[in-house]
Structure 1
């Protein structure tokens, strides 16, 4: 059975009984880290704000990144086969908005704002991000409106030693977190 046939069989077996609006409303109450996923290579340099990122496993170190197929950046990631996930700090709300397309700033100019460098793949990482994981795409599949990328982590950088709060998104608004006291 092909991969597409498996996805279709699962979709038919577990047909959703909720609408897109219900699904979005439910997820609006979940807290998600705000990331900017970047890429550079033969397809060009690009980046997009993304909240659908998760770890898959530590051995080998692998991430899952979901990106709308209509996003310009989706095609660029597929052409480059590399990406870097930048988990933003609380003070980087402007970076999130910029890469979400607020202000319609041309892609090249987005990277002229802030401090961007590269690790092993050449995909840009933000020096102000809490964590950046530089990856090579090992698999991509289409699921509904999105591409699901599995990406092997090749290099990391972190500012965890410095006190920086994460930028998160919840209830359709930016927020940050504070550690809770131990009981």
Structure 2
């Protein structure tokens, strides 16, 4: 079978896949914010802290909307609420770290989400922080950290989509990730067959 025939067969097979879906809404209608959030609560997401330091100040924020964009060049995307203090600070500094938290770091996640109302210096004092190549702070107890330079920010709805190029990494062994699932903290371990 030629490459063209294989691509056509794959396209035909894909066209036959039937997805279970909600009945189509009227033209121009959207799902409500509550329905959208409820649907996404069924997806497991990593819990990260975005941290920055520089001329704009030092700030951090808990973020579960982070994903890879591409590996050439290594780029990630983080979605940060425009109302977040950290949003403007990250943009002003142009650098950040993305710190994937370990399962035992729930309290740190809550602190950087604003629980307890602590100041930024008090939040950073609750854990051990160092710096990587960019100069942005990274959490030494995090499962994994990406050290990044901001390359673009796009405003969409209530959030800024911050694209960041990865310049360095730090990793800790023997830790399990902190995740968020059905509006609660969870953790994950590799599935065994």
TM normalised by structure 1 equals 0.89
Which one of 164, 170, 174 corresponds to residue 163 of structure 1? 174
TM-aligned CA deviation for residue 106 of structure 1: 0.5
Q: Describe how 1:133-144 pairs up with structure 2 within 5 A.
A: 133-144=146-157
TM-aligned CA deviation for residue 15 of structure 1: 4.6
Which one of 75, 82, 100 corresponds to residue 88 of structure 2? 75
The runs of at least 4 aligned residues of structure 1 exceeding 4 Å deviation read: none
Q: Describe how 1:101-180 pairs up with structure 2 within 5 A.
A: 101-159=114-172, 162-180=173-191
* Number of matched pairs: 167
Query: SS of the counterpart of 1:95?
Result: helix
Higher radius of gyration, 1 or 2: 2
Is it true that 1:54 corresponds to 2:67 in the alignment? yes
TM-aligned CA deviation for residue 16 of structure 1: 5.1
Q: Structure 1, unaligned stretches of length 5 or more?
A: 1-13
Which one of 52, 63, 69 corresponds to residue 76 of structure 2? 63
Query: SS of the counterpart of 1:181?
Result: coil
TM-aligned CA deviation for residue 163 of structure 1: 1.4
TM-aligned CA deviation for residue 108 of structure 1: 1.0
Write out per-residue CA displacement over residues 146-181 of structure 1, whole angstroms, 9 at most, x where no aligned residue: 00011000110001xx21110000000001012211
TM normalised by structure 2 equals 0.84
Q: Structure 2, unaligned stretches of length 5 or more?
A: 1-26
Which one of 25, 33, 37 corresponds to residue 38 of structure 2? 25
Q: What is the rounded CA distance, in whole Å, between the counterparts of 1:116 and 1:104 in structure 2? A: 20
